[in-house]
Amino acid sequence: MNYLRFEWLKLKSRRWAWLLAATTALALASVIKLLSNISYLNEQVTEGQFMEQAAYGFISYSCLYPFLPLWIILFIGTEFVNGHVNLVVFNTSYKTYFYSKLVYCFLISTAFCLLGIVTMVVVQVTAPFNVLLPKSFYGIFIFQSFFTFLSIALLAMSITFLARNIAISFVVYFILVFAEGMVFMIVKKLNGMELFYLPFHITNILYVKGGEKMSENYYNFFQEPDLRALALPVFLLITQGLTYWDFTKRELKPLSD
């Protein structure tokens, strides 16, 4: 099966998906451009930090609930609710559906990455001064944004497969992100120990030093690689493996229910 074509045709056929895509693109590009210019005009950021803050802002904002997680949880959750999962599994296999969702995460991550490139170009061209960038800027941004988005997408996918319900998936995602942030902060303050390997925290290391989500920590992963990031793909492989195992062992909800 051509998984990419399979997922693309489904996306293309949903009219509300085009409206959501337009809203997402306009909202993200507008917010990043506006905040970048305001920060510069208020002297909160220097000319040398201008594009770095924009890059950090785009990746960070994209990972918020109304953007990338929404695209994963809403679309996959809808397919569990409307019986599409049943149809695909019964006509093909569990593996076919699961693989198609991995490709869907890849597709959405790529789309957000491309939107990020367009947004960075807009921010650069419309900046209140002449922006000079190193040749490596966009290459670094593509690497950092794509793998960050793919990691978040896969985590959101696992949550949705386990919950099999849109509302529950959003609640669980919110609780996990919030609880992880609180636990990390509390443990660090009380014991001075960083629980670095928490799932959402370690994802941040692809674009901010030490995973601390602050614009001044945005950095070049190629020049200053953090070897702890090697734990991320291992964690994601384990997570997806367990998600697939659970998916194949639990019965799907009958279409008549």
pLDDT digits (tens, 9 = 90+) for 1-12: 688 888 988 888
Is the sign of the CA dihedral 18, 141, 208, 124 positive or negative?
negative
Cα 51 to Cα 127: distance, rounded to the nearest angstrom: 9
pLDDT digits (tens, 9 = 90+) for 121-164: 999 998 888 888 888 899 999 999 999 999 999 999 999 999 99
Position 256 scores a pLDDT of 55
For residues 181-195, give the mean pLDDT. 82
Cα 15 to Cα 201: distance, rounded to the nearest angstrom: 35
Residue type, 80: F
Contact 212, 204 (CB under 8 A): yes
Backbone phi, then psi, for 45, in 5-degree steps?
-145, 140
Q: How many CA atoms lie within 13 A of 204 on its CB side?
A: 24
The reported pTM is 0.92
For residues 22-46, give the mean pLDDT. 87
Position 73 scores a pLDDT of 97
Cα 53 to Cα 143: distance, rounded to the nearest angstrom: 16
Q: Is the pLDDT of residue 13 over 90?
A: no
Pair of tokens at residue 179: 């609880």
For residues 170-177, give the mean pLDDT. 92
Pair of tokens at residue 146: 């794509």
Contact 215, 53 (CB under 8 A): yes
Q: Is 215 exposed, middle or buried (0-12, 13-18, 19+ CB in 10 A)?
A: middle
pLDDT digits (tens, 9 = 90+) for 103-131: 999 999 999 999 999 999 999 998 888 88
pLDDT digits (tens, 9 = 90+) for 71-84: 999 999 999 998 89
Cα 167 to Cα 58: distance, rounded to the nearest angstrom: 26
Contact 149, 66 (CB under 8 A): no
pLDDT digits (tens, 9 = 90+) for 214-223: 767 788 777 7
